[in-house]
């Protein structure tokens, strides 16, 4: 009998989500004669049984469109605010999966989605996931769709900031998304020719950054672009954060844990305006004017790049193949030109950060980029 599958998109949106929905959906419908239903707004729509039938017509014309036609949310199956209270909605989700007579559920998302999908797999659902995020920080896969488009957007922004920095002899600090990984700031920083790149994996010293900028002034270049990842942090901040994280991990009682958590929250709050603070510090230390541009959600918008459409389509079609073969509890990962199934246990709870000896870092250092270390 033809299978019936459900699809949802969860977490922050990225360009390429619609291409992935189309990739899974068209292969499932046309190649295998499956029936496809979409759930609105991530795991919340699944918990509330808000569905939309995905057929040839609804899957047509969406390849090039940004965002997600299904909507998304950051809701977790086991911790969802319903009626003002945080509730475990796992049972409701299992019931809706059964009521829709699903054979499999496709969850398209980033790191948190992989964890939530594993939770549902453990609750007995046939789950399969696809890796998306502009942060490129999902473990085991070579790449996530959304990253390439955001990389292009952030690079284009740096290009535009270059000419104004040059004209006014200014420092421009540009903050780039990426959560706790530096892939996006590193990639866009290199491609856009940033003079300084600051990423969470390499904590910086502001005096070293200032000296790199002063060096450029001495060499006749009185302007600089500083690409800072949203998770980029000073050595001092990194040390305090590590201390608080260690305290939390080794807390002997509830009170110690509460104190450690409060300290982490305070440090995170303090870090929120890091780019603005960095701009002010660099003005003081160099005597140059500084301006700060926070790219923010611009990086998540727009039409997907060709590379993201291609990646989402090939992972999506492979996903349909795996469902036909009844391979569940896996994420479809990109491995060179292949798409392979990897157990969710190997992905969930792991973050792919930039190795500090990564070839991109070596290349950037070779062309004179400072990492402030």
At closest approach, how far in Å is the CB of 210 from ligand F6P? 27
At closest approach, how far in Å is the CB of 74 from ligand F6P? 6
Per the residue annotation, which of 135, 137, 148, 308 is the catalytic one?
Answer: 135
> Cα angle vertex 99, ends 96, 101, to 5°?
110
Would you say 278 or 320 has its CB closer to ligand F6P?
278
Residues in the chain: 373
| CA 353/CA 124 separation, integer angstroms | 31
Rounded to 5 degrees, what are φ and ψ at 7? -130, 135
* Residues in Cβ contact with 6 at an 8 Å cutoff, skipping those fewer than 6 apart: 36, 37, 38, 39, 46, 51, 97, 100, 102, 104, 105, 106
CA count, 13 A, side-chain hemisphere, 210: 16
At closest approach, how far in Å is the CB of 302 from ligand F6P? 13
DSSP helix/strand/coil, 60: coil
At closest approach, how far in Å is the CB of 20 from ligand F6P? 16
Residue of 196, 142, 187 whose CA lies nearest to 331: 142
Would you say 29 or 197 has its CB closer to ligand F6P?
197
Would you say 34 or 331 has its CB closer to ligand F6P?
331
Footprint of ligand F6P (CB under 6 A): 12, 110, 133-135, 177-179, 230, 300
At closest approach, how far in Å is the CB of 100 from ligand F6P? 28
Would you say 135 or 201 has its CB closer to ligand F6P?
135
DSSP secondary structure of 173-223: EEEE--TT--HHHHHHHHHTT-SEEE-TTS-B-HHHHHHHHHHHHHTT---
Would you say 14 or 286 has its CB closer to ligand F6P?
14
At closest approach, how far in Å is the CB of 173 from ligand F6P? 17
Residue 308 is among the residues annotated as catalytic for this protein: no
| CA 293/CA 103 separation, integer angstroms | 47
Burial code of 174-183, b = ≥16 C-beta within 10 A, e = fewer? bbbbbbebbb
DSSP secondary structure of 97-141: HHHTT-SEEEEEESHHHHHHHHHHHHTT--EEEEEB-TT--BSSS
Rounded to 5 degrees, what are φ and ψ at 279? -55, -45
Would you say 170 or 300 has its CB closer to ligand F6P?
300
Strands 35-39 and 4-9: parallel
By beta carbon distance, the residue nearest ligand F6P is 177
* Terminal CA-CA length for the chain: 60
At closest approach, how far in Å is the CB of 300 from ligand F6P? 5
Cβ–Cβ contacts within 10 Å for residue 71, how many? 18
Position of tokens 């299978």? 3
Would you say 38 or 200 has its CB closer to ligand F6P?
200
Q: Which two tokens stand for residue 275?
A: 């780019």
Catalytic residue ranges: 135
């Amino acid at each position: 009998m033809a299978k019936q599958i459900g699809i949802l998109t969860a977490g922050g949106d990225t360009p390429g989500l619609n291409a992935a929905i189309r990739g899974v959906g068209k292969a499932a419908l046309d190649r295998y004669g499956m029936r496809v239903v979409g759930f609105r707004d991530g795991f919340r729509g699944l918990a509330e049984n808000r569905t939309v039938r995905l057929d040839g017509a609804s899957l047509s014309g969406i390849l090039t469109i940004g965002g997600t036609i299904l909507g998304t949310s950051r809701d977790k199956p086991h911790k969802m605010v319903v009626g003002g209270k945080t509730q475990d909605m796992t049972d409701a989700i299992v019931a809706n999966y059964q009521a829709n007579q699903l054979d499999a559920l496709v969850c398209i998302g980033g790191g948190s989605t992989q964890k939530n999908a594993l939770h549902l797999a453990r609750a007995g659902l046939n789950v399969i996931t696809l890796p998306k995020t502009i942060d490129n920080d999902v473990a085991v896969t070579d790449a996530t769709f959304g990253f390439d488009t955001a990389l292009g957007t952030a690079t284009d922004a740096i290009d535009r900031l270059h000419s104004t920095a040059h004209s006014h002899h200014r420092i421009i600090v540009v903050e780039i998304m990426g959560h706790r990984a530096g892939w996006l700031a590193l990639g866009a920083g290199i491609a856009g020719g940033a003079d300084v790149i600051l990423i969470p994996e390499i904590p910086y010293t502001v005096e070293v950054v200032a000296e790199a900028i002063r060096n450029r002034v001495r060499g006749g270049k009185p302007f600089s672009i500083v690409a800072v990842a949203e998770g980029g942090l000073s050595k001092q901040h990194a040390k305090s954060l590590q201390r608080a994280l260690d305290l939390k991990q080794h807390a002997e009682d509830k009170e110690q844990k509460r104190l450690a958590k409060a300290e982490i929250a305070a440090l995170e709050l303090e870090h929120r305006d890091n780019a603005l603070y960095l701009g002010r510090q660099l003005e003081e230390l160099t005597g140059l004017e500084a301006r700060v541009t926070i790219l923010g959600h611009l990086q998540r918008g727009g039409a997907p790049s060709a590379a993201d459409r291609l990646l989402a389509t090939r992972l999506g079609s492979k996903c349909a193949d795996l469902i036909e073969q009844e391979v569940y509890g896996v994420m479809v990962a990109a491995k060179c030109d292949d798409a392979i199934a990897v157990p969710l246990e190997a992905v969930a709870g792991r973050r792919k950060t930039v190795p500090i000896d990564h070839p991109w870092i070596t290349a950037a250092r070779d062309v004179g980029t400072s990492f402030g270390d």
